[in-house]
Structure 1
Amino acid sequence: MMRSAAVQPRTPSSSTKSPFNKENKEAVSEGKPMTGRDIFGARVMSEPRVRVRHALSSVNASRQERCSIGGVSTPSTGIKGYDAVTPSSMTKEDVEELLSLKMKGKGKFDFKGKSEQMMEYIRKLRACIRTLQLSEETLIREKEETCNQLLEECKTHRTTEEQLKNEKAEVEKNLLDKKSVCKILEDELYEAELERKSLLAEQEKTTEVLQEANSEVAGLLEDLEAYRKDLESANEQVIALQEINKRLQEYNASLQMYNSKMQTDAATAAETISKIQKEKSAMMETLSSLKGHSVALQEQLNQAKESMLEGATHRKLLMDEQEKLRIELLHALETEKQQIAQLGAMSAELDAYKECTRKSAIELEDLRAKSVLLEGENAAQVKELTGLREQIILANAKLQMAESTVVQHQHEGAEQKAIMEDLQQQLSEAEQRIREGDILRRKLHNTILELKGNVRVFCRVRPLLPEDESSVLEEQPVLQYPNSAELLGRGIELVQSQGQKHEFTFDKVFGPEVGQQDVFVEISQLVQSALDGYKVCIFAYGQTGSGKTYTMLGNPDDLEQKGVIPRSLEQIFESSQVLSSQGWTFQIQASMLEIYNETIRDLLAPGSKNGTPSKQFSVKHDQNGSTSVSDLTVIEVTKWKEVSSLLRQAAQSRAVAKTAINEQSSRSHCVFTLRISGYNQGIDQQVSGVLNLIDLAGSERLSRTGSVGDRLKETQAINKSLASLGDVILAIANRDQHIPYRNSKLTYLLQPCLGGDSKTLMFVNVSPDARSANESLCSLRFAAKVNACDIGVPRRNTHMLWGSQYAGSREDATSVC
């Protein structure tokens, strides 16, 4: 219950839909499989179009919810400020208020109230995301409309340009005709001049003939002038056409600038959405990490504040009491002064009476009696004054004690603050030691496993999807994680609906909250071994929709969602650059193929998008344990960008289709191979390593997928090859003499990884959905068998060129690890 209640809303790192999106569960058409996977944000493919499946994302609205966003308002929830907010009316202020909202329960342990508020908070987050998705779709539609308008304008421009070209050609043709006529006329004029000369010579003989010749020459000159005027008008038309063409070019440039602006606005909107989601994710992580520490500090602060308040209250009471005593003392002193003054006056009067009334004894006795009374009152007042002075002294003593208590509390607060800072320093040092110890543990663990020769198995659980959470809230979680020190991070328990519990232990277990970077940290040492001359194989296994492709590929263009393959390649190139300073030079070659319906396809070959292999490929193993595929395209790469373009090309060519339980399901096994050859001239040593990264197709149950036609054939081929892989693992575990590698193309291709001298790691991906409990149990059992297989000690492939006694040496792992 605590684990299910601790499910936090997970924010996608980008505006794209979740890689585990299963929102559309309609029947699958019987068309041909799609060739191409959208892992780069763009796709060029034929119908049917399928949506992108990004694994390990927690927020994805269903198709029915997207259809009803514009017409149905969100019901009242009770969260202040969001009772009437709908996706279409949510503003930036609503989003900021939603992000700043804090969950408040009736008490510290009011988990039910906080859970209800959290569910409503998740619903509001989904509404916010749907609003952002609608905005993105609107921008995309506007972009498409603009592109269509641009295409129409381009077509109109091309039509106008062709017309102008045709008119220009006609004008040029007419101009050539005019020039030819002009030349003819010039020739005729020349002949006329000759004739005129002859006529002038004969002028004296034939005057009439000369006049006719002159008139003919004048007519020819007029025609020539008319032709020249026509030529000038034709030139003016050419200049006008050139100006029109220039204006059309300027209009085309303005259209291109407008299109670029629209694309920039769309990219800005996408970046804004991604920034908002990242900021919210950072806030949620910071809140969860500081919650426990804040509670402890708040308790200590409250205790110190209470002590300070008590001391201040006590001090204030003492000050008030002292003030009252001072007022009473002043009043008593004033009364005493008055009485003393009265006593002096009475004494003077008494003296006067003594001098004046000695004659009267009665008056003298009266005065004596009054004097005695006054003396008694004076003594009482003196006694009262003494008591007041003692009270003032006592009040001053209490005030000094209160001040000393306050000072003591201040010293204690400073000591507690120093202790807290010391504890924080010790905590940071302990965390650093834990990180260093964890790195050392991984290295030692890798060394032990290499010496044992076992296949390493990592288990990864994908997060719950929205449709999964609805079923989990009513039931006990299917997957649980032991908290004991021995099994922490390595154990996983699967609880079936009948209550039966199955326990499994692997080399590492990743929960749904673990990101791509944390997963890669665990295998980075294994990837590094490929540069050291080892054969390394990493493959993902699990049912369809469990997150295999997300684990292996992810989204190479997103820093946080990049999978094992792009991160491994980045590390390979970065490490090769570091080793180059030590005298090493590396040659890296990449190839990528898929096994579709027991047929090998070259994903990097030109023209591989049509889905039909142009060649027959065969797998060959040599005596040194190396594997090769005949006629397979091998491309030499020198940097990560080149490999990224190859991955993009291969993803577009891979067979992908929609099934009833997965929006975009891989219909083939994909194998990416990186061959690394290194040479160090200083020590005259050569190493040869291979890195195989494999994304297996997911196992499927026909009862759930309902596949027919081509999908049925693909499912049968996938299940057959995975069953052959299970037979090979069983034979290796039983140490049979015959291992049935040739039962399928997949097992025969993986023969060096399963039975050779390579370092092999398997990711078993499972789903937390209760409906997939049986498939998850089968995957975990298969992974346990793989983990128990002994495939031999990995060996390093090195070649010392300076000594024949070392030529072709293959070092044992025990001597290099």
Structure 2
Amino acid sequence: MVTKNQNRPPLSLTSTPPPPSNSKNFEGDVLLLDNKEQRVGAEKMVGTPINGRTRQAFTVVNGGVHDLGPSSAPPSNAGSDYGVIEFTREDVEALLSEKAKRKDRFNYKERCENMMDYIKRLKVCIRWFQDLEMYYSLEQEKLKNSLELTQQKCIEIELLLKIKEEELNSIISEMRRNCTSLQEKLIKEETEKSAAAESLVKEREARLDIERSHSTLSEDLGRAQRDMQSANQKIASLNEMYKRLQDYITSLQQYNGKLHSELSSVEDELKRVEKEKATIVENITMLRGQLTISVSSQEEAIKQKDVLATEVSSLRGELQQVRDERDRQLSQVQTLSSELEKVKESKKHSSTELDSLTLKANDLEEKCSLKDNQIKALEEQLATAEKKLQVSNISAYETRTEYEGQQKFVNELQRRLADAEYKLIEGERLRKKLHNTILELKGNIRVFCRVRPLLADESCSTEGKIFSYPTSMETSGRAIDLAQNGQKHSFTFDKVFTPEASQEEVFLEISQLVQSALDGYKVCIFAYGQTGSGKTYTMMGRPGHPEEKGLIPRSLEQIFQTKQSQQPQGWKYEMQVSMLEIYNETIRDLISTTTRMENGTPGKQYTIKHDANGNTQVSDLTVVDVHSAKEVAFLLNQAANSRSVGKTQMNEQSSRSHFVFTLRIYGVNESTDQQVQGVLNLIDLAGSERLSKSGSTGDRLKETQAINKSLSSLSDVIFALAKKEDHVPFRNSKLTYLLQPCLGGDSKTLMFVNISPDPSSIGESLCSLRFASRVNACEIGTPRRQTNGRSIESRLSYF
């Protein structure tokens, strides 16, 4: 799965919120700025004191920029609407992290005017960054020029150094020659001794001067190299700042129209691919029919060829018989001729015998002529049959060639069909990604529906299937139909899992949401449904079966794997786990080693509190530092053993309390000093049930009443959020008060609605689906990334 944050703008300097959209898309998608905050932001933009100091704006003369030294700040002419402006990092962070306060959410005109003013101030900031970019490019060119001059000076110094060394070597060799000559002439020329000594002293002084100049040149060379290194470091830092500013400006310019253009292009591509798929299926059907016809015609031609071959063989046999008959007749004619000669020679026979013999001879000659005609006709038939055989061979070869061509064409169409199906799958993935991004921008609670398989004692029902899943392009994988008393009820959610869906397929759909917790967001996933519908199986899985692990173990494995993979990038994470349950409107600590529930009375009283930042904390709750998934698995096993579970007529292992698992994540990037603070809340709600079906009595009756009361309070909260009422009754139960940041804050929230396929539970299933539809329509606000540092206060469980 691709991530959900790919279409968001990159962070600038520290962290920045997404840029505002065009004014056409303001309604319902942007926050309304308070008038007081607008005045304060405008005063900061025009140079009012910030943090107790006053900034001086740069001077712009006739639209030109003066040449400034390396330590001077760049001039700016970005304040066309607010005067001459200078921005510091604090100003940019204050502008980008400005948070709006809603007074009248339906006053769209005032919201548009406030947002236009905010866009103007943001444009001023962008222009100032463009001027700063131009200034840094000029500084970069100056530093490059100075670097080139320094390199040239270094090259010249090296050349001079080599020349001096050569001169010094030549002088030394010359001195040695002079010394030898002087030693040889010392005895002969004593008068020249003083002059030679003076010249030797002068040469030594010259050598010392050369050595001193060499040392000074070496020091100059080292100094130049250090200056070069510092200049390279400055250039690298300026290049990095330039790239970051350029990427940020480009992302700001492209972000406004990116989502809508991608969404429209993907929809067009999906429609085109669907049409192409239909035409390809029609072509394949037609080609298959043609292929069948060609195959049948080829088989007929082969059969005709075999018939003609047998006929030719029979004709050849008849021809051979006729030839044998002809030879026999010729032999008879010869015999009769010899006999006739004998008769003529003897002349003893009568003329009647001679006439009869003559007649016989004439008959035989006529028979021979007829046989010759028959032989010619048979030879003609044989030639015609051979021609037909050749024609049939040619037609069979043409049919085979055409069959091979059709087979290649069919293979090509199948390949194109596979490509189209792959494109269709990719387009569906992109559509899901864009759909999730739009839901995050809207701030809706995402809802996944999961239908569990029928159990062994339920499969014998004769009422048939009550659920169906539409397969159209628009609703495939997102819709479910429920049939009750001949009436069909249709529902559409963000994702619908059929009974055949595995635990791994379910987790793949929420893996990106779990990743958001590591990115610094508050994430909440909770399972809702009647008792026995598979909520605990979805969240925890089946113990002892690794392939059926639930969302909580798989989420922890993914988080610790990602933590390990991000260590080379400089990220270090600290993680804390807490687990509690709400049993009979009382909070219990499931991993505490000292507190236990005895006789229904808790040893400690836990209170829920909200701070000014929208965080929720549970006092005195046990928080454990964890470093691996095995440690968390051990704590989960301990919590499972401590959780309240009971047997009812509807479920032998029914959860009698709401289970809340919280993972607190602190992340620090040592290379960029960036800090993130995320929270992952995974909640397994107790199942709703009817007293008439559950048969609860005593403690089970009290538990059922408490569960139904808290779920009813959750329903009241959802109704109030869906109607956008001013007052939302979060305090009606411990569950809703604990879930307040997830349902009414800046959290990424997802609800699993678990459905039982048992026909006897059709009423509860319909109520659960209707409740899930209302939850899916609730807008709770846009998620906000937590980048503040870790608090030094005592450990508390935050939501």
Contact 1:533 1:687 in 2 (8 A): yes
Q: Which residue of 2 aligns with 1:447?
A: 437
Deviation of the 1:441 alpha carbon: 2.1
Q: Distance in 1 between matches of 2:738 and 2:701?
A: 24
Contact 1:357 1:364 in 2 (8 A): no
Q: Secondary structure in 2 aligned to 1:737?
A: coil
Give the 5 Å matches for 1:547-566.
Answer: 547-555=534-542, 557-566=544-553
Give the 5 Å matches for 1:135-214.
Answer: none
Q: Which residue of 2 aligns with 1:493?
A: 481
Q: Secondary structure in 1 aligned to 2:753?
A: strand
Question: What is the one-letter code of the residue matched to 2:582?
Answer: I
Q: CA distance change for structure 1 residues 404 and 489 in 2, over 3 Å: closer, same or farther?
A: same
Q: Deviations over 1:518-550 (max 9, x none)?
A: 222221221111111111101010110111111
Q: Distance in 2 between matches of 1:677 and 1:564?
A: 21
Contact 1:675 1:690 in 2 (8 A): yes
Q: Distance in 2 between matches of 1:609 and 1:418?
A: 74
Q: Deviations over 1:597-635 (max 9, x none)?
A: 111111112266766643222222222222222222222
Verify: 1:374 aligned to 2:364, yes or no: yes
Q: Which residue of 2 aligns with 1:478?
A: 466
Among 746, 770, 791, which residue is 1:757 paired with?
746
Q: CA distance change for structure 1 residues 304 and 604 in 2, over 3 Å: closer, same or farther?
A: farther
Q: Deviations over 1:418-474 (max 9, x none)?
A: 344434433443343233323322221111001101101111111122333333xx3
Q: CA distance change for structure 1 residues 300 and 716 in 2, over 3 Å: closer, same or farther?
A: farther
> Tell me, which stretches of 5 or more residues in structure 1 are unaligned?
1-294, 800-806, 809-817
Question: What is the one-letter code of the residue matched to 2:627?
Answer: T
Q: Which residue of 2 aligns with 1:716?
A: 705
Q: Which residue of 2 aligns with 1:332?
A: 322
Q: Distance in 1 between matches of 2:693 and 2:404?
A: 66
Q: CA distance change for structure 1 residues 421 and 605 in 2, over 3 Å: closer, same or farther?
A: farther
Q: Distance in 2 between matches of 1:408 and 1:639?
A: 70
Give the 5 Å matches for 1:486-635.
Answer: 486-497=474-485, 499-555=486-542, 557-606=544-593, 613-635=602-624
Q: Distance in 2 between matches of 1:615 and 1:532?
A: 35
Q: Distance in 2 between matches of 1:590 and 1:770?
A: 40
Q: Secondary structure in 2 aligned to 1:796?
A: coil
Contact 1:556 1:566 in 2 (8 A): no
Deviation of the 1:304 alpha carbon: 8.2
Deviation of the 1:328 alpha carbon: 1.4
Q: Distance in 2 between matches of 1:296 and 1:639?
A: 60
Contact 2:584 2:707 in 1 (8 A): yes
Among 661, 668, 672, which residue is 1:679 paired with?
668
Question: What is the one-letter code of the residue matched to 1:656?
Answer: V
Contact 1:598 1:745 in 2 (8 A): yes
Q: Distance in 1 between matches of 2:287 and 2:603?
A: 69
Deviation of the 1:507 alpha carbon: 1.4
Q: Deviations over 1:344-385 (max 9, x none)?
A: 333344445445549976665444433322221111101111
Contact 2:581 2:589 in 1 (8 A): yes
Give the 5 Å matches for 1:367-406.
Answer: 367-406=357-396
Q: Distance in 2 between matches of 1:299 and 1:613?
A: 77
Verify: 1:346 aligned to 2:357, yes or no: no
Contact 2:452 2:757 in 1 (8 A): yes
Give the 5 Å matches for 1:63-462.
Answer: 310-357=300-347, 365-462=355-452
Deviation of the 1:644 alpha carbon: 1.8
Q: Which residue of 1 aligns with 2:110?
A: none
Q: Secondary structure in 1 aligned to 2:609?
A: strand
Give the 5 Å matches for 1:686-725.
Answer: 686-725=675-714
**Aligned-residue RMSD, C-alpha:** 2.9
Verify: 1:740 aligned to 2:748, yes or no: no
Q: Which residue of 1 aligns with 2:247?
A: none
Q: Deviations over 1:220-258 (max 9, x none)?
A: xxxxxxxxxxxxxxxxxxxxxxxxxxxxxxxxxxxxxxx
Percent of aligned pairs sharing the same letter: 58
Name which of structure 1's ranges 783-792 and 636-645 shifts more when overlaid on structure 2.
Answer: 636-645
Q: CA distance change for structure 1 residues 623 and 300 in 2, over 3 Å: closer, same or farther?
A: farther
Q: Distance in 1 between matches of 2:286 and 2:571?
A: 53
Q: Distance in 1 between matches of 2:538 and 2:378?
A: 86
Q: Secondary structure in 2 aligned to 1:502?
A: strand
Contact 2:291 2:406 in 1 (8 A): no
Name which of structure 1's ranges 568-577 and 308-317 shifts more when overlaid on structure 2.
Answer: 308-317
Q: Secondary structure in 2 aligned to 1:691?
A: strand
Name which of structure 1's ranges 440-449 and 537-546 shifts more when overlaid on structure 2.
Answer: 440-449
Q: Distance in 2 between matches of 1:729 and 1:453?
A: 14
Q: Distance in 1 between matches of 2:699 and 2:573?
A: 44
- Tell which has more relative contact order, 1 or 2 (C-alpha 8 A, sep 6+): 1
Deviation of the 1:479 alpha carbon: 2.2
Q: How many residues align?
A: 504
Q: Secondary structure in 1 aligned to 2:566?
A: helix
Contact 1:609 1:652 in 2 (8 A): no
Q: Which residue of 2 aligns with 1:775?
A: 764
Question: What is the one-letter code of the residue matched to 2:320?
Answer: L
Deviation of the 1:570 alpha carbon: 1.6
Contact 2:596 2:603 in 1 (8 A): no
Q: Distance in 1 between matches of 2:286 and 2:683?
A: 47
